[in-house]
């Protein structure tokens, strides 16, 4: 028992090169053909100490694997973190693309409000608190209601992510006046102008 314990301690202190050599030698003794082993004078040795040789191979392989994993741990953590970062960026990009598509496909009145905010460098606007268009924008998550104002003079503001998307995609939304918006979006000028008339400045 003492000899086995000493052997285990000795194996545990060996370098990866020695462990690799032990594994290779042990596998060779265990699996080489009997003819070869007889020529080497190790045939009887293999049958007498097969269990010990197998234990040494398993222990050396486990120690070698542990050594490799320990050495590679920082790189593995960095690789895992990189994969997580890439996946998260793709998720965020996909979510932004979906939101941008929703903004681009929004009704004319909603896009006119976006254009007004961009053209006037504002992220807040006033409309009646019960305005159905604003309520739809709130339901979509495009705008949020503030605690300022009430009735026909309620203050609303663009949701932060919506504002960032609009700023990054200004050419798709920003115009100088309602007439330009009407030409760009192919809608009736009177309807668009009516929407802009409701978007009062703070």
The CATH number of whichever domain residue 141 belongs to comes to 1.10.10
Q: Are residues 118 and 176 in the same domain?
A: yes
Question: Does residue 39 sit within a domain?
Answer: yes
pLDDT digits (tens, 9 = 90+) for 86-101: 999 999 889 888 888 8
**CA within 13 Å, CB half, 37:** 17
Question: Does residue 179 sit within a domain?
Answer: yes
- Strand spans (E) along the chain: 124-127, 143-145, 154-158
Q: Is the dihedral angle over the CA atoms 173, 175, 177, 179 positive or is it negative?
A: negative
For the chain, how many structural domains are there in total? Answer: 2
Question: Does residue 99 sit within a domain?
Answer: no
Residue located via tokens 């197998």:
54
Report residue 156: phi and psi, to 5°: -120, 160
Question: Does residue 91 sit within a domain?
Answer: no
Q: Are residues 191 and 115 in the same domain?
A: yes
Residue located via tokens 């960026």:
89
Q: Are residues 116 and 193 in the same domain?
A: yes
**Of 73, 93, 123, which marks where a domain is finished?**
73
Report residue 131: phi and psi, to 5°: -60, 125
Q: Which residues form the domain of 48?
A: 2-73
Q: Are residues 128 and 193 in the same domain?
A: yes
DSSP 3-state assignment of 200?
strand
pLDDT digits (tens, 9 = 90+) for 28-70: 888 888 888 888 888 888 888 888 888 888 999 998 888 888 8
Q: Are residues 116 and 192 in the same domain?
A: yes
Degrees, nearest 5: CA angle 96-100-102: 120
Q: Are residues 192 and 115 in the same domain?
A: yes
**Over residues 124-152, mean pLDDT:** 83
């Amino acid at each position: 028992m003492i000899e086995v314990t000493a052997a285990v301690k000795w194996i545990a202190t060996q370098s990866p090169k020695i462990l690799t050599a032990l594994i290779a030698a042990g596998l060779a003794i265990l699996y080489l053909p009997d003819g070869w082993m007889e020529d080497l004078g190790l045939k009887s040795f293999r049958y007498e100490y097969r269990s010990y040789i197998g234990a040494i191979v398993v222990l050396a392989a486990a120690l070698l694997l542990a050594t490799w994993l320990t050495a590679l741990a920082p790189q593995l953590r960095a690789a895992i973190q990189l994969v997580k970062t890439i996946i998260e960026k793709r998720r965020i990009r996909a979510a932004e693309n979906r939101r941008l598509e929703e903004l681009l496909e929004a009704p004319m009145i909603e896009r006119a409000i976006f254009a007004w905010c961009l053209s006037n460098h504002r992220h807040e606007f006033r409309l009646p608190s019960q305005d159905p268009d604003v309520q739809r924008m709130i339901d979509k998550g495009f705008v949020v209601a503030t605690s300022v104002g009430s009735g026909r003079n309620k203050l609303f503001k663009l949701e932060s992510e919506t504002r960032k998307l609009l700023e990054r995609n200004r050419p798709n939304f920003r115009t100088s006046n309602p007439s330009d918006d009407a030409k760009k979006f192919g809608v009736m000028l009177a309807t668009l102008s009516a929407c802009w008339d409701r978007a009062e400045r703070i």
